[in-house]
Amino acid sequence: MVREFTHFIGGKHVKGTSGRFGDVYNPTTGEVQARTPFATTAEVRSAVEAAQRVFPEWSSLNPQRRARVMFNFKALVEKNIDELAHMLSAEHGKVLADSRGDVQRGLEVIEFACGIPHLMKGEYTESAGTGIDVYSMRQPLGVVAGITPFNFPAMIPMWMFGVAIAAGNTFICKPSEKDPSVPMRLAELFLEAGAPAGVLNVVNGDKEAVDAILKDPDIKAVSFVGSTAIAEYVFTTGTAHGKRVQAMGGAKNHAIIMPDADLDQVVDDLIGAGYGSAGERCMAISVAVPVTDKLGDELVRRLRPRVESLKVAPSTDPDANYGPLVTKEHREKVKAYIDLGVKEGAELVVDGRDFRLQGYENGFFLGGTLFDKVKPNMKTYQDEIFGPVLQIARAKDFDEAASLPSKHQYGNGVAIFTRDGDAAREFASRVQVGMVGINVPIPVPLAYHTFGGWKRSAFGDVNQHGLEGVRFFTKIKTVTARWPKGGVREGASFVIPTMR
C-alpha cells in the first residue's frame, strides 16, 4: 500500500486538502512508495498563523531555556539516528553510512546553536558621551522559512532551523517533495524535545507552496538551497516582497592537482568526492585539473581502474560505494549530459550509461563515468551535472589551472592538492571561489564557521550557519540611554547630537 504523507502544522499532522500529490520513489527498485501532498496557499498560510501564535511565547523565553530544547533535540536525534538514516536512504538512495553522515553534519549545527546564549550577546559602551551609555541587542525576526533540497534532507533543514529557532524565531520548512520523511520526523522530535507546538512546522508542496512562502507578508526571511535557476528566482521574488533571502545554488567544483601532490591520496580523494552519494552533492568534485599533460596521463591511468571497479549497489549494502540516483528523471538527465560530452568531443574514458544491477533493473542506478580532455567551452563543463561523472580538464601551468575555477560561472568550492605551501597560499588568496580546500577535497566548513559560495552559486549577502547564520536570522536594535545627574535639564538643542 502506498503511504500518504501529511503536513505538520501547529504540532499536529494535517492531511493535505489540495488533491494534488507528488510521487515518492524507492530509488533502488523504482517503485512508488509514498505520495506527498502539495500544499495550497491557504495551507501555507495556516502554518504561518500557527508560527505567529507561538512566536511571542518562544521569543520571550530566555536563551538558556531555548538552548535546553536544542540540547534535548540533539539527544533525541542521536538516539534515533539509525531510524533517520534508514528513512533517508530509502527515499534518497544514498548509502547508509552517508545518510548517517548527513544527519551528523546537521547535528553539528544543532550543537553550535546550543551556544545561543553567547551568540545572541550584543555590545555595550559605557560613557559614550557625558552620562550616556550605548548598547545593542540581537532580536529574532519573527516567522522565517527554509526551502530545502532533496540531496541533504537531514543536514540542510537542521542548518536552517537550528540557528533560526535557537535565536527565537519560529520556522516553516518546505522540504523537497522527493524525500520528505526525514524533515517530518525531525519536526516530531523537536516537539518531543520540549518546543511549543508551532515553533517548527513542515509544509510539503511544489511551486505553489514556494510562491506562497515567498509572497506571504508575515514571513520575514527565507533560506534556500537548490539549483541556481530556482535560487535566483527565490532571491528575486523574496526580496521583491520585502524579505531577507539567502539562496544557495549550483556548483562546478574543481580540484587543482599540482605535480608535487601525493597522487595516491589525490586519487582516493577524487573517487570519494567525485562519486560519493552518486555525485548528488553541491560540494562534489566534478572537475579534476592536473597541471601538465604528463600528470594528466598518469592521473587517468590511475583513475580508470578505480572508476571501473566502483561498487554501485542498494543503499543497504555495507560495501556499496554509492547507490541509485534519486529519480528516473534525474538519471536520464545525467545520462543526457554524458551523451552531450561525447558529442562535444571530450574523451570518454569510462562509460557508466549502460550499468544495470541484477535484481534491481528498475532502480535508478548509473555507473561511474570519467571524461578526459574536457574544454572550458563545452556545455558539460559549464553546467552542473549532479551525477557520478568526473571530468578532467588539463592545464599547462599553475596560472591556467587557477584561472579555470575563477572564470567559471559557479564559485561554490574548490581544492588544491600540493606539498608547496607557497603555491597553496597563493591559490587560496587568488581563486574566486567561496570555499577553498588545501589537500581537502570537500571543504565544507565546520558549524562554527560559515557556508556559502560566490558568483552564481549564491544569491544574497549572508552565508549559512556559523555567526553569519545568527546575523541572518536576527536584527540589531541599538539603544542610546542618558541618565542625567540630579535631574539637571539641558534645554532644547537644534543640532545633531554628538558625543563630545
Query: Three-class SS of residue 190?
Result: helix
Comparing 500 with 354, the larger pLDDT belongs to 354
pLDDT exceeds cutoff 80 at 85: yes
C-alpha to C-alpha distance for 270 and 290, rounded to whole angstroms: 12
Residue type, 56: P
pLDDT tens, 178-192?
999 999 999 999 999
pLDDT score of 488: 60
Confidence of residue 483 (pLDDT cuts 50, 70, 90): confident
* The pLDDT value given to residue 8: 98
Active site positions, annotated? 282
pLDDT of residue 130: 83
Mean predicted confidence (pLDDT) in 137-141: 97
- What's the whole-number mean pLDDT along residues 123-140? 92
Distance CA 249, CA 413 (A): 12
- pTM score of the predicted model: 0.94
Q: How many helices (H) and strands (E) in the chain?
A: 16, 23
Do residues 344 and 378 make contact, with C-beta atoms less than 8 angstroms apart? yes
Burial classification of residue 235, based on how many CB atoms lie within 10 Å of its CB (0-12 exposed, 13-18 middle, 19 or more buried): buried
Distances (CA, A) of 390 to 94, 276, 341, 349, 373: 18, 11, 11, 10, 11
Which pLDDT value is given to residue 487? 61
Q: Which residue has the higher pLDDT, 225 or 491?
A: 225
DSSP classification of residue 465: S
Q: pLDDT at position 493, please?
A: 72
Residue 495 confidence (pLDDT) above 80: no
Contact criterion met (CB below 8 Å) for 215 and 193:
no
Q: Looking at the predicted structure, is the pLDDT value of residue 496 above 90?
A: no
pLDDT at 486 over 70: no
Q: What is the mean pLDDT of residues 420-425?
A: 96
Report the pLDDT averaged over residues 252-271. 97
Cα–Cα distance measured from residue 170 to residue 161, given in angstroms and rounded to the nearest whole number: 8
Map grid coordinates 571497479 to a residue.
Answer: 309
pLDDT band at 489 (very low <50, low <70, confident <90, very high): low
Residue 258 has pLDDT above 80, yes or no: yes
pLDDT-derived band at 49 (thresholds 50, 70, 90) equals very high
Average pLDDT, the chain: 96
Q: What is the pLDDT of residue 372?
A: 98
pLDDT above 80: residue 63: yes
List, for residues 383-413, the tens digit of each pLDDT value.
999 999 999 999 999 999 999 999 999 999 9
% of the chain at pLDDT higher than 90: 94
How high is the pLDDT of residue 129?
A: 84
Q: What is each CA distance from 154 to 50, 84, 105, 219, 377, in whole angstroms? A: 23, 8, 9, 23, 36
Going along the chain from its start, the domains and CATH numbers come out as 3-249+457-478 (3.40.605.10), 253-438 (3.40.309.10)
Task: Round to whole Å and give the CA distance between 357 and 314.
Answer: 9
**pLDDT tens across 10-47, in order?**
999 999 999 999 999 999 999 999 999 999 999 999 99
Torsion of CA 279, 184, 459, 237, to 10 degrees: 130
Q: Which of 340, 336, 332, 330 is nearest to 378 (CA)?
A: 340
The CA distance from 278 to 301, in Å, is: 22
